[in-house]
Amino acid sequence: MILNFINGQYRQGRGGRSFSDMNPVDGSLIAQVSEATREDVDDAVNAARDALAGPWGALKLSQRCDLLYAVAAEIDRRAEDFVAAEVADTGKPRSLASHLDIPRGAANFRVFADAVRNVATETFTSHAPDGEPTLNYALRRPKGVVAVICPWNLPLLLMTWKVGPALACGNTVVVKPSEETPATAALLGEVMNSVGIPKGVYNVVHGFGPESAGEFLTTHPGVDAITFTGETRTGAAIIRASAAGIKPVSMELGGKNPAVVFDDADLDATIAGLTRSVFENSGQVCLGTERVYVQRRIFDAVVQRLASAAARLRPGRPEDPATTLGPLISAEHQRKVLDYFALAKAEGATAVCGGGVPDVSHELKAGAWVEPTVWTGVAHESRVAREEIFGPCCAVIPFETEAEALRMANDTPYGLAASVYTSDVARAHRFAGALRVGVVWVNSWFVRDLRTPFGGSGASGIGREGGVHSLEFYTELSNVCIKFNGEAQ
């Protein structure tokens, strides 16, 4: 049984209800998960408020940051436990979890402990109307209790991306992980206890969205701020819920991210980058590429080479070193993606590769598998070119001129990320600056410096996190103005 973690203790929900955590690799049961009631969420928020006013709030900045470094070290020490939990929940290849998800989960605590120690606030000297000198400086104060609502695609990484800076800034948190991936958020409670994080600082409640833990948490009057990563529709519901309490929100939402390939690009590097951005984590990455615009002269070559790379991906059990493609997160998500595959065919697309369910071994037949898929013949205006699918698929669409590529890349309600492939430095700067997205990679993908701003525009979200931008969201700034009266003696 995976339990809620409230005030430093694991406990079942008061209602006695549970739900199943299923393995997407083969459809087997991993564990039952205890569902939190409204009263359990009350307890978690109250514990967080008590810790804020008590032992956590009383710590010096250096003590708090040292504890977060200890959390990171303990995640590293228990990396195998976290990898096993993450792989069981998501079905992703073990190599991906061990090289990306879990190390980044630990790094998020170190990076933001360092940031809050070293990023200064503004200081100004000036004069009052009577001519006396003044000094203005800003203080950072924690927002309070932060509700952290997490997605299922990179569970530990994206949860600690929020919990790390929230705790570094002196807040306390109540985490609601996805019902699809509850294990690593719960396991982190053991780490918090083992390194001496005070009770109530880190809490976890399990459940769903409407009329469950998600709604109970985001509408709770004791919550001071909400941070969410997930689909746009859910984000809109959370924003509506936050309005009643005038609560600040940070929203990292969906995307329909473009990659633009010019005919002077290094094709080897381009195909390597596209193979990752389209198919990594079975396309279940908010930053992933679903629209690939290729200049006409090299269109056929890119299509052929990308399709060949997709065909070489091998589905299988996550612990098999030969596995390079995992399943989707659930049977429900598999049905959604397969519906888009059928829609693409109905809209006139040609599946150069994929387009269905892969031939997997008998024991994996009940898993949530889909084939990596590359389409041509997709109209830019079609649904499969405009709606987020969140699977291992992309539409490859030709263009003639830079202006045409820019128009199509920006023609979307989303604005999260983009990639540009070109050997022309001037064009790279010019084109990247004209894209209406939060993150642009040139000749690369998913290269992250955690000090940089991260987030989207339009339907892709509100706000930025990362580096000082996380500190701005997770703290309130207070200005202190001191007037120096009298003359020096």
Across 205-221, average pLDDT:
97
Q: Is the pTM of this model over 0.85?
A: yes
| Structure tokens that stand for 266 in this block | 């290094």
User: Is 74 an annotated catalytic residue?
Assistant: no
Q: Please compute the mean of the pLDDT values over residues 324-330 and round it to a whole number.
A: 98
Q: How many residues comprise the chain?
A: 489
Q: Tell me the per-residue pLDDT of 444-463, one tens digit each, with 9 for 90 and over.
A: 999 999 999 999 999 999 99
Q: In this predicted model, what pLDDT tens digit does every residue of 74-122 receive, in sequence order? A: 999 999 999 999 999 999 999 999 999 999 999 999 999 999 999 999 9
Note whether 354 and 305 are within 8 A (CB). no
Mean of the pLDDT values across residues 127-132?
92
Which domains are present in the chain? Answer: 4-253+456-479 (3.40.605.10), 257-442 (3.40.309.10)
Residue-level pLDDT at 485? 79
* Residue 430 pLDDT > 90: yes
Distance from C-alpha of 437 to C-alpha of 444, rounded to nearest angstrom: 16
Which residues, 6 or more positions from 233, have their beta carbon under 8 angstroms from its beta carbon? Answer: none
Q: How far apart are CA 169 and CA 171, in angstroms?
A: 6
Spatial distance between the Cα atoms of 405 and 292, rounded to a whole number of angstroms: 10
Q: Which two tokens stand for residue 321?
A: 């070193």
Q: Looking at residue 454, what DSSP letter applies?
A: B
What's CA 20's distance to the chain center, in Å? 23
Q: What is the structure's pLDDT at 489?
A: 52
Distances (CA, A) of 98 to 87, 157, 472, 487: 9, 11, 31, 63
Q: Is the separation of the CB atoms in 371 and 354 below 8 Å?
A: yes
Tokens of 485: 């009266």
- Which stretches of 352-453 are DSSP H helices? 402-410, 425-434
- The string of pLDDT tens digits covering residues 12-68 is 999 999 999 999 999 999 999 999 999 999 999 999 999 999 999 999 999 999 999
pLDDT at 487: 61
Q: Are 391 and 282 in contact (CB under 8 A)?
A: yes
Residue 236: C-alpha distances to residues 203, 249, 461 (Å): 24, 11, 9
Classify residue 345 as exposed, middle or buried by CB count within 10 Å of its CB (0-12, 13-18, 19+): middle
Measure the CA dihedral 56/58/63/69, to 10°: 10
Catalytic option among 215, 252, 280, 388: 252
Q: Where are the beta strands (DSSP E) in 171-299?
A: 172-176, 202-204, 225-229, 249-252, 257-261, 289-295
Region of 27 (left: φ > 0; alpha: ψ -120 to 50; beta: rest) is: left
Output the DSSP codes for 310-330.
HHT--B--TTSTT--B---S-
Residue 244 confidence (pLDDT): 86
* Helices and strands (DSSP H and E) totals, the chain: 16, 20
Helix (H, G, I), strand (E, B) or coil at 465: strand
Digit-coded pLDDT (tens) for 367-420 = 999 999 999 999 999 999 999 999 999 999 999 999 999 999 999 999 999 999
Choose among 385, 379, 374, 380: nearest CA to 351.
374
Q: Is the pLDDT of residue 488 over 80?
A: no
